[in-house]
Amino acid sequence: MSDEQAQPKNDQPTPNTKLKEMRKQLAQGGGQGRIEAQHAKGKMTARERVEKFVDPGSFQEILPFMLHRHSDYGMDKSRTISDGMTAGFAKIDGRRVCLYAQDFTVMGGSFSEVAGIKLAKLMDMAMQAGVPVIGLSDGGGARIQEGVWSLWAFGELFYRNTLASGVIPQISIELGPCAGGAVYSPAITDFIIMTKNTSHMFITGPEVIKSVTGEEVDFETLGGASTHASISGVAHFAAENEEHALETARILLSYLPSNNLEQPPPVDPVDDPYRMDKSLDKLIPTAPNEPYDMREAVEKIFDLGSFFEVHENFARNAITGFARLHGQPAGVVGQQPAILAGSIDIDAADKIARFVRFCDAFNFPVITFQDSPGFLPGVAQEHGGIIRHGAKIVFAYSEATVPKLTVITRKGYGGAYIVMGSKHLRADIVFAWPNAEIAVMGAEGAVNILFRKNIKDAADPDTEHARLAAEYRDKFSNPYNAAAGGHIDDIILPSETRPRLIAALELLRDKQTTLPAKKHGNIPL
């Protein structure tokens, strides 16, 4: 056949040419002008983010040519292929993932019926394949012009977020506005990463708040990354920029299994499992009320450089994060004596309980470092429901069936001792450092209750109080009384903690236990 005969008639493009043109349109999103506006804000487009995030050439898009079917309010004249939602699957550091990205250049990234259809298919695929789902959010909420259909779309996503919870990891990366109903999908997911100055999350914006309550507040103060990472606890990480947000997600993924039937992925160990850092033997101050940094213990006990803190700036009197012991990932929970003396308040209770439940869902051993004088007292705490919130920790530790190891570094007082991974909530192994104090309360408070009349009637009440307190401390300000009762498994030097934990985890690696048959428990939310 001659070249002339091969040419299409009437100058019509070939099917291949048309497909290439359609792909060019996809890449343009809402048009060059809107792409430039996005760049001017220091933000990438949806497709640029995906390409930067995943392994080169690995992204496979699904349903790229969908168009919305609505016509009200001029929608019939505003149709863009893909409709502002990029969805598909790819690999990140060689691991399979499903992901989606809202395109702010198309109608402000508003969530449409098409978006709901795409994400319903994506979530179903992810659950069937057993791979994580990552959402890159940058949109203004439900598409008003579509009415109930945009609300249907969100409902489909929320429902699948809930079904996927505890089955596959779900990560939300907030890279722009996230308002109204749009905030609930990230809130259901396991982790939220926000970017400072460019991402915002709120149910109602500053203008609505001003009109209803008279309060004046700017976007950043109301729902910025720093606010949600430190005050509300909605965000687990506050990234400096988009690149940092994507890198944070990559690091987080490196600790997570792909689904609840897998173990967290190990790495080749490079740190000596028998390493014993002698500086740990001097970490605990002589004075019982003097603070120290629990992070120092964590960083020296686990594989060097492996501690990846979660919720670092929220409820800082508690520590949560992932780390590795001889290459094996574990969930780390600790109390921070440097903040509020490590006491448990409402926010710390929520932070700890949520993290322990995630670890249990995805097969992370939970290693707890306990040093707490108790629950934080006060009218605000009581009226805010510290009883209900504290009970969440009891529930989380009690229902967890993964290996549970606890190290009591100093204080284990009262209810706080029980809830923080004690033997009584079925911890597998509990170690205590020589400084450990395990008692209902501190010596001063205890003798005030036990010997109130004796102290009052004494010739020198202060001297009598000091004497009785010293006797109480001599009895309970060490771990040997608890060890004699079998409530702790061994007393160890702080420097011995690393090899002892590694050995315990090796034993418990294939731990099997079951809970009573039931539909689900009723955690005190």
DSSP E strand stretches across 339-419: 366-372, 404-413
What is residue 1's predicted lDDT score, i.e. its pLDDT? Answer: 46
pLDDT band at 387 (very low <50, low <70, confident <90, very high): very high
- Residues sharing a CB contact under 8 Å with residue 350, sequence separation 6 or more, in sequence order: 233, 315, 389, 392
- Residues sharing a CB contact under 8 Å with residue 337, sequence separation 6 or more, in sequence order: 291, 292, 293, 294, 371, 410
pLDDT in tens, 91-146: 999 999 999 999 999 998 899 999 999 999 999 999 999 999 999 999 878 888 99
Q: Are 170 and 123 in contact (CB under 8 A)?
A: no
Q: Are 101 and 138 in contact (CB under 8 A)?
A: yes
Extract the tokens encoding 37. 């506006």
Residue 181 bears catalytic tag: yes
What is residue 9's predicted lDDT score, i.e. its pLDDT? Answer: 59
| Residue in 258, 296, 303, 261 with CA at minimum distance from that of residue 280 | 296
Residue 415 bears catalytic tag: yes
Number of residues in the chain: 525
* More confidently predicted of 13 and 382: 382
pLDDT band at 10 (very low <50, low <70, confident <90, very high): low
CA dihedral 49, 53, 58, 62 (to 10 degrees): -50
Residue 421 bears catalytic tag: no
What is residue 8's predicted lDDT score, i.e. its pLDDT? Answer: 53
Extract the tokens encoding 103. 């395109």
| Residue in 154, 202, 152 with CA at minimum distance from that of residue 177 | 202
Catalytic residue (choose from 155, 166, 180, 327):
180
| Residue in 257, 264, 266 with CA at minimum distance from that of residue 131 | 257
In sequence order, the β-bridge partners of residue 135 are: 100, 172
In sequence order, the β-bridge partners of residue 137 are: 174
Catalytic residue (choose from 181, 342, 374, 421):
181
pLDDT in tens, 195-248: 999 999 999 889 999 999 999 999 999 999 999 999 999 999 999 999 999 999
Of the chain, the percentage scoring pLDDT greater than 90 comes to 78
Task: Please give the domain boundaries of the chain with CATH numbers for all domains.
Answer: 14-255 (3.90.226.10), 278-436+478-508 (3.90.226.10), 442-477 (no CATH)
Q: Which amino acid is at 6?
A: A
Residue 416 bears catalytic tag: yes
Computed over every residue of the chain, the mean pLDDT equals: 94
Mean pLDDT of 69-81: 85
| Residue in 134, 138, 119 with CA at minimum distance from that of residue 34 | 138
- Residues sharing a CB contact under 8 Å with residue 474, sequence separation 6 or more, in sequence order: none
Catalytic residue (choose from 415, 445, 458, 466):
415
Q: Are 239 and 196 in contact (CB under 8 A)?
A: yes
Catalytic residue (choose from 90, 416, 427, 469):
416
Q: How far is 200 from 123, CA to CA, in rounded Å?
A: 24
Cα 473 to chain centroid, rounded: 39
pTM for the predicted model, two decimal places: 0.94
